[in-house]
């Protein structure tokens, strides 16, 4: 693409949408014209990008009649289902942050450090951004799968309230102030851990848990991996933490596994437990890396590994990964 691409941010006034704008500016993404879109109630608001004001437009059927090259969507599944095909039909490539398109076989599910080649498969003009909890997991998993072949994964997640957007943050803030709100969660979150993210399904799992299972297989391009998950909401503002247990098909050397993780793009290894050094949500918040630590053998298995994984769910888990996909597109 010789000229600077025209970019639309859909859901520009939301938590992820506003972070799209921050990340685009911080990464010096080349933009010809920026369009900000949101619901009717946000239309007319002003946002600031690179020191200039941009007026938020109402998202509608005519929004993509303009010459827009890439649209970053974070407006929820219903709006993505309705408007992503409209944008794609107008010649725009959509990078969608909702769950609407992730498991569609004709829509690539992309983490640039893991499967950048998949962007070429966007035959429908739509690329899906994975679930935040999946994104941070598959960076280290890809490295280890390539080296030793993963047979089974057990996920246990500790997910921050920002994963539920502004309402989630408000529930925690008000709960810590002594006013238990339940706008985002079925129970008060302050002083609590809630083993319930998204709706429960007939199999006893939640949608969030099944997202991690299905998306991991799709991104790693291996349906043979056996995966189970338990996802938990915890009273943390930002950054998701995950305990990941793996069973390999092949033997592995622990020092080699650590070295492979340390050398992988997008990963920072923090693993000196004798000095109390391991990834923490407070340190990961506001950053774009995936942090890995507590790397150790699972002695209950012939070839098993445990590690702890932390990343900012709004940045690498949503906005930054989407912008990285857009960077692949303009290359």
User: What's the residue count for the chain?
Assistant: 331
Question: Which of the residues 92, 145, 240, 309 is marked catalytic?
Answer: 240
Distance between CA atoms of 273 and 277, rounded to whole angstroms? 5
Q: Where are the alpha helices (DSSP H) in 177-302?
A: 207-220, 254-263, 281-284
In eight-state DSSP terms, residue 42 is: G
- C-beta separation of 143 from 261 below 8 A: yes
Told to judge if 117 belongs to the known catalytic residues of this protein, a careful annotator would answer no
C-alpha closest to that of 235 among 179, 175, 288: 175
Distance between CA atoms of 317 and 301, rounded to whole angstroms? 30
Distance between CA atoms of 132 and 317, rounded to whole angstroms? 4
How large is the angle between the packed helices 15-26 and 320-330, nearest 10 degrees? 50
Told to judge if 196 belongs to the known catalytic residues of this protein, a careful annotator would answer no
- C-beta separation of 29 from 323 below 8 A: yes
Question: Which of the residues 132, 145, 187, 309 is marked catalytic?
Answer: 132
- Virtual torsion, Cα 217, 323, 162, 296, nearest 10 deg: 50
Active site residues: 132, 240
């Amino acid at each position: 693409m010789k000229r600077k691409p025209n970019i639309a941010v859909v859901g520009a006034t939301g938590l992820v949408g506003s972070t799209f704008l921050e990340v685009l500016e911080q990464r010096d993404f080349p933009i010809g014209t920026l369009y900000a879109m949101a619901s009717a109630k946000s239309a007319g608001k002003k946002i600031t990008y690179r020191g200039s004001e941009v007026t938020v437009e109402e998202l509608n059927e005519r929004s993509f009649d303009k010459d827009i090259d890439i649209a970053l969507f974070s407006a929820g599944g219903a709006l993505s289902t309705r408007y992503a095909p409209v944008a794609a039909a107008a010649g725009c490539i959509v990078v969608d942050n909702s769950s609407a398109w992730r498991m569609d076989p004709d829509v690539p599910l992309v983490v640039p450090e893991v499967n950048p080649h998949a962007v070429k498969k966007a035959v429908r003009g739509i690329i899906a951004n994975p679930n935040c909890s999946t994104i941070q997991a598959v960076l280290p998993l890809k490295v280890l799968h390539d080296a030793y072949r993963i047979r089974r994964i057990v996920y246990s997640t500790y997910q921050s309230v920002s994963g539920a957007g502004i309402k989630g943050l408000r529930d925690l803030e008000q709960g810590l102030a002594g006013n238990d709100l339940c706008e985002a969660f079925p129970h008060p979150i302050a002083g609590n851990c809630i083993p319930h993210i998204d709706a429960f399904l007939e199999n006893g799992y939640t949608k969030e848990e099944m997202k991690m299972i299905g998306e991991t297989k799709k991104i790693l391009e291996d349906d043979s991996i056996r995966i189970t998950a338990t996802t938990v909401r915890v009273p943390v503002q930002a950054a998701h933490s995950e305990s990941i247990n793996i069973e390999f098909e092949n033997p592995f050397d622990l020092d080699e596994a650590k070295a492979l993780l340390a050398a992988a793009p997008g990963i920072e290894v923090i693993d000196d437990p004798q000095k109390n050094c391991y990834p923490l949500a407070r340190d990961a918040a506001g950053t774009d890396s995936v942090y890995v630590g507590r790397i150790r053998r699972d002695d209950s298995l012939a070839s098993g590994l445990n590690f702890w994984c932390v990343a900012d769910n709004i940045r690498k888990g949503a906005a930054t990964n989407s912008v990285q996909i857009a960077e692949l597109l303009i290359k």
